[in-house]
């Protein structure tokens, strides 16, 4: 006798066999981290960040770089080690704690008075600050505007109905001369064309691996954009 699982509309079975919403809420992301369902995390520094960092820097040294939806990316520590000030925002406290523990960076933890319920985790040299809050509650009043932005799988992690709002929100965090490096996959370009930004596709590559094949995809194109 075979058993059939009815999958409700708007949900899918993830690779762990759990029913998951197609559009992830903040709570869903927090649960994913708690259950260690973090297939998106890579234990390596992003190759394309290393390649295109000079485009973010544009000749500048020791700049402030923002990583929206940063997870526990190794890129945070790498950018810090290059001499930059790094600010990240991440909804999962587990992710932030794991970052500091796994990277062996000592830190302090404080409340952020401007954002109810938010906390900031700072490295002891104060050059890494990771804010545990929703990106939409984070503003330039908290940590100023940034000289550079590294967006790795962040725009794509935002639910499609919120992407336009996310793009507008990110432009409010860009200082004069800010360079925004975006790692994404093919999506509707209309959603990233901002009135004040110049967008250049730097590289487009076939990034199909077993991971995407297991999601049922037969093509997966990674794209790197530089936005000024
Ligand atoms: N940039 C990281 C993680 C990408 S996955 C990397 O390249 O590894 C997206 C991350 O965004 C997850 O860690 C998730 O917990 C976080 N996230 C999702 N929605 C968020 C929101 N609204 N505000 C802040 N963080 C969010």
Cα of 82 vs centre of ligand 1, distance in Å, is 23
Three-state secondary structure call for residue 171: helix
Per-residue pLDDT of the chain in tens (228 residues, 90 and over written 9): 444 556 667 666 666 666 666 688 899 999 999 999 999 999 999 999 999 999 999 999 999 999 999 999 999 999 999 999 999 999 999 999 999 999 999 999 999 999 999 999 999 999 999 999 999 999 999 999 999 999 999 988 998 889 999 999 999 999 999 999 999 876 444 555 555 678 889 999 888 888 888 877 888 888 899 998
Give yes or no for residue 29 CB within 6 A of ligand 1.
Answer: yes
Contact between 117 and 133 (Cβ < 8 Å): yes
**CA 43/CA 34 separation, integer angstroms:** 18
Cα of 190 vs centre of ligand 1, distance in Å, is 22
Tokens in use for 81?
A: 């080690």
Give yes or no for residue 132 CB within 6 A of ligand 1.
Answer: no
Q: Which residue from 68, 91, 94 has its CB within 8 A of the most atoms of ligand 1, so it is best to mutate?
A: 91
Give yes or no for residue 151 CB within 6 A of ligand 1.
Answer: no
Give yes or no for residue 92 CB within 6 A of ligand 1.
Answer: yes
Contact between 182 and 192 (Cβ < 8 Å): yes
Query: Which ligand 1 atom sits closest to the C-alpha of 183?
Result: 7
* Element spanning 184, H or E: strand 174-185
Q: What pTM, to 2 d.p., does this model score? A: 0.87
Contact between 47 and 73 (Cβ < 8 Å): no
Q: Which residue from 32, 112, 157 has its CB within 8 A of the most atoms of ligand 1, so it is best to mutate?
A: 157
């Amino acid at each position: 006798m075979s058993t059939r699982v009815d999958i409700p509309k708007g949900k899918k079975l993830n690779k762990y066999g759990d029913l998951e919403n197609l559009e992830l809420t903040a709570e869903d992301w927090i649960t994913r981290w708690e259950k260690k369902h973090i297939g998106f995390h890579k234990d390596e520094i992003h190759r394309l960040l290393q390649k295109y960092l000079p485009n973010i820097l544009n000749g500048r040294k020791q700049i402030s770089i923002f990583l929206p939806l940063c997870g526990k990316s190794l890129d945070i520590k790498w950018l810090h080690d290059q001499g930059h000030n790094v600010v990240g925002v991440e909804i999962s406290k587990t992710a932030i704690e794991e970052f500091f523990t796994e990277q062996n960076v000592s830190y302090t933890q404080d409340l952020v008075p401007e954002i109810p319920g938010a906390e900031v985790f700072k490295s002891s040299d104060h050059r890494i600050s990771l804010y545990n809050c929703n990106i939409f509650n984070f503003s330039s009043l908290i940590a100023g505007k940034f000289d550079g932005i590294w967006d790795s799988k962040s725009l794509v992690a935002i639910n499609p109905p919120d992407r336009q709002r996310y793009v507008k929100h990110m432009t409010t965090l860009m200082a004069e001369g800010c360079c925004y490096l975006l790692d994404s996959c093919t999506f509707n370009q209309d959603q990233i064309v901002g009135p004040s930004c110049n967008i250049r596709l730097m590289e487009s590559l076939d990034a199909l691996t077993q991971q995407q094949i297991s999601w049922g995809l037969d093509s997966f194109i990674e794209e790197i954009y530089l936005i000024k």
